[in-house]
Amino acid sequence: MRTRCLQWDAAAATIDALPYVSVSRPNLEASIALLAEAAGIRITHRTVSRACIQEIDPDFTVFDATGRRAVTAERHWRSIQPIVARSFQFAEVKPAREGFELAAGPTGYVYRLANRNGVCLGVVGRNQKGTWAEVCDRITRFAPWIVSDLCDRDFTVVDGKSGPCSLQWAQPGSRALLIGDAFLGRDAISSQGLATGFGTAISAVSQELTGSLSGRPVDLAIQRTVHAKHVIDQIGAAPFSRHSTWRQYGDFLGRAAMVDLAG
Contact 176, 154 (CB under 8 A): no
Phi, psi at 224, each rounded to 5°: -65, -45
Residues 113-142 that bind ligand FAD (CB under 6 A): 122
Minimal distance, residue 129 CB to ligand FAD, in Å: 17
Burial class (CB in 10 A: 0-12, 13-18, 19+), 103: buried
69 binds ligand FAD (CB under 6 A): yes
- Tell which one of 191, 206, 254, 255 touches ligand FAD (CB under 6 A): 191
SS3 190: helix
Total residues in contact with ligand FAD, by rule CB under 6 A: 21
Contact 69, 185 (CB under 8 A): no
SS3 96: coil
**What is the spatial distance between Cα 246 and Cα 253, in angstroms, rounded to a whole number?**
10
- Tell which one of 63, 64, 71, 104 touches ligand FAD (CB under 6 A): 71
173 binds ligand FAD (CB under 6 A): no
105 binds ligand FAD (CB under 6 A): no
- Tell which one of 5, 73, 83, 85 touches ligand FAD (CB under 6 A): 85
Contacting residues toward ligand FAD, per CB under 6 A: 47-48, 65-67, 69, 71, 85, 122, 163, 165, 180-182, 188, 191-195, 197
